[in-house]
């Protein structure tokens, strides 16, 4: 019962002071303090003959079963467990009713049934399992099509995104008409709907049978970028970037991502991103830098080099790796133009930091190569002055 309930609030008197977990076999010492039997016996076996709570020396090391507390604990958990079971049965029954309702009703009644089911599914693991076990995924998926209203579509997708979808369900959702509806809602729905659409399509991309043509859409990519750039609703940035990262793994779609201006938009976003989002954005930019047009887009963005230099040795080793790779791509493309900009932005000093740090040897090697490339346009004296070194190191 204790394991299944996983309750956040348990009366403190039920908690063992040693393990900080609910007691199942409480025993009391001569000091009046109560512990879980197995925990206090371990304490004694370690050679301690004191009360762990008060640190008093024990004049008697015997332990006495606390029957009263045991019955209180058992009764309390039994009541909670019974209530949980009843709620679980009620939830299962209600989910079944709602699924039957969805097969029969249309219009506003269908929307209301979907709204209620979405709330229940979000709140209860039992509800999610019941929907899957009773064929609810197929019922809800069948509601998505070319003539589905956004009111129905947004609720249906809000349910599906919280369910465990099998291969057959994912294949069914990959139909062009269903993807087209998701793309429409990604562009025109509420922020919650946009996030759910990106999360669901990201799930579908995990399927082996997923075809890149499904997401090779200018409209889809523009919708994702709008979500990522929406500063009023920052909760959409992470799911948007996660989806964009998945799309970037498909070589066939990368050119299209560059063509919508995603490179410069992501570069401008970098200073405002949280670390988890920053790593995703840098991964995407690094991946796009493998394309000739991606390199050009990075070079043409005025803030690419300053932002990348700023990120070296700042957030994580992964971020440093991506930033170095991007700087290398840009500086190799236009050595004279970009190297001087990079050095003026403080790149040389940052590269020396990487070389002296305890990071990956591959990063150190890349830093040394980039440092050499950047030094070609300077005399030794001027380049050393740009490195901002102390007199001793000079």
Model confidence pLDDT, tens digit, residues 241-258: 999 999 999 888 999 999
Number of domains in the chain: 1
Residues in CB range of 347: below 8 A, 6 or more apart: 305, 309, 312, 327, 370, 374
Lowest model confidence (mean pLDDT) among 166-175, 360-369, 375-384: 375-384
* Most distant CA atoms of the chain, gap in Å: 86
- Give me the mean pLDDT over the 162-184 stretch: 92
Domain of residue 50, residue span: 7-65
Cα separation of 55 and 334, whole Å? 71
Where do the H-state alpha helices sit in 214-303?
218-229, 237-248, 251-259, 262-269, 275-288, 292-300
Cα separation of 355 and 8, whole Å? 48
Helix H or strand E encompassing 275: helix 275-288
Q: At 376, is the secondary structure helix, strand, or coil?
A: coil
Contact 82, 114 (CB under 8 A): no
- Helix, strand, coil abundance in the chain, percent, nearest 5: 70, 5, 30
Residues in CB range of 9: below 8 A, 6 or more apart: none
pLDDT for the residue 30: 92
Where do the H-state alpha helices sit in 125-236?
125-133, 136-141, 150-160, 167-173, 176-188, 191-204, 218-229
Residue tagged 């995703």 (tokens): 280
In a domain? residue 305: no
Residue of 39, 6, 5 lying closest to 20 (CA atoms)? 39
pLDDT over 70 at 298, yes or no: yes
Question: How much is the pTM?
Answer: 0.74
Residues facing residue 26 across a β-bridge: 36
CA 181 to chain CA centroid, Å, is: 25
CATH number at residue 42: 3.30.40.10
CB atoms within 10 A of CB 121: 26
Contact 282, 329 (CB under 8 A): no
Residue tagged 């050119």 (tokens): 255
pLDDT for the residue 392: 43
Cα separation of 285 and 323, whole Å? 9
pLDDT for the residue 313: 82
Contact 145, 176 (CB under 8 A): no
In a domain? residue 32: yes
Cα separation of 181 and 220, whole Å? 11
In a domain? residue 237: no
In a domain? residue 13: yes
Residue of 7, 61, 13, 16 lying closest to 35 (CA atoms)? 16
Share of the chain above pLDDT 70, in %: 92
Share of the chain above pLDDT 90, in %: 55
In a domain? residue 46: yes
Residue 112, token pair as written in the block: 């209301």
Cα separation of 151 and 135, whole Å? 22
pLDDT over 90 at 68, yes or no: yes
In a domain? residue 52: yes
pLDDT over 60 at 393, yes or no: no
pLDDT for the residue 394: 45
In a domain? residue 17: yes
In a domain? residue 44: yes
Whether the CA torsion 196, 199, 205, 207 is positive or negative: it is: negative
Crossing angle of helices 176-188/150-160, nearest 10°?
Answer: 100
Residue of 159, 151, 166 lying closest to 131 (CA atoms)? 159
**113-125 residue pLDDT tens:** 999 999 989 988 8
Whether the CA torsion 6, 99, 208, 154 is positive or negative: it is: negative
- CA distances to 22, 67, 96, 258, 322 from 254, rounded to whole Å, are 54, 68, 44, 6, 17
């Amino acid at each position: 019962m204790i394991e299944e309930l996983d309750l956040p609030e348990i009366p403190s008197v039920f908690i063992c002071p040693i393990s900080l977990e609910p007691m199942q076999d409480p025993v009391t010492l001569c000091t009046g303090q109560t512990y879980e039997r197995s925990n206090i016996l371990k304490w004694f076996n370690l050679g301690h003959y004191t009360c762990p709570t008060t640190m008093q020396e024990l004049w008697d090391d015997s332990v006495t079963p606390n029957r009263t507390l045991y019955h209180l604990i058992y009764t309390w958990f039994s009541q909670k467990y019974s209530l949980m079971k009843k709620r679980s049965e009620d939830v299962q029954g209600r989910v079944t009713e709602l699924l039957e309702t969805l097969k029969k009703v249309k219009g506003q009644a269908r929307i209301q049934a979907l709204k209620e089911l979405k709330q229940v599914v979000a709140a209860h693991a039992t509800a999610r399992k019941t929907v899957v076990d009773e064929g609810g995924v197929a019922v809800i998926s069948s509601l998505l099509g070319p003539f589905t209203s956004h009111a129905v579509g947004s609720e249906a997708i809000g349910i599906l995104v919280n369910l465990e979808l099998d291969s057959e369900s994912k294949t069914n959702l990959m139909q062009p008409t269903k993807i087209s509806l998701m793309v429409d809602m990604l562009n025109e729905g509420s922020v919650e709907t946009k996030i759910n659409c990106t999360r669901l399509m990201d799930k579908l991309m995990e399927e082996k049978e997923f075809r890149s043509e499904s997401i090779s859409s200018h409209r889809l990519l523009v919708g994702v970028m709008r979500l990522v750039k929406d500063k009023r609703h920052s909760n959409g940035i992470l799911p948007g970037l996660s989806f964009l990262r998945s799309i970037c793994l498909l070589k066939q779609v990368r050119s299209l991502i560059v063509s919508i201006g995603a490179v410069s938009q992501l570069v401008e976003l970098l200073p405002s991103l949280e670390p988890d989002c920053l790593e995703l954005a840098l991964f995407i930019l690094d991946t796009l830098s493998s394309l000739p047009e991606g390199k050009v887009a990075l070079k043409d963005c005025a803030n690419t080099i300053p932002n990348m230099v700023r990120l070296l040795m700042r957030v994580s080793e992964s971020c440093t790796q991506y930033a170095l790779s991007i700087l290398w791509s840009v500086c190799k493309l236009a050595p004279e133009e970009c190297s001087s900009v990079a050095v003026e932005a403080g790149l040389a000093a940052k590269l020396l930091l990487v070389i002296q740090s305890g990071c990956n040897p591959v990063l150190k090697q890349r830093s040394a190569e980039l440092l050499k490339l950047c030094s070609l346009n300077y005399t030794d004296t001027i380049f050393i002055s740009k490195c901002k070194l102390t007199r001793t190191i000079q």
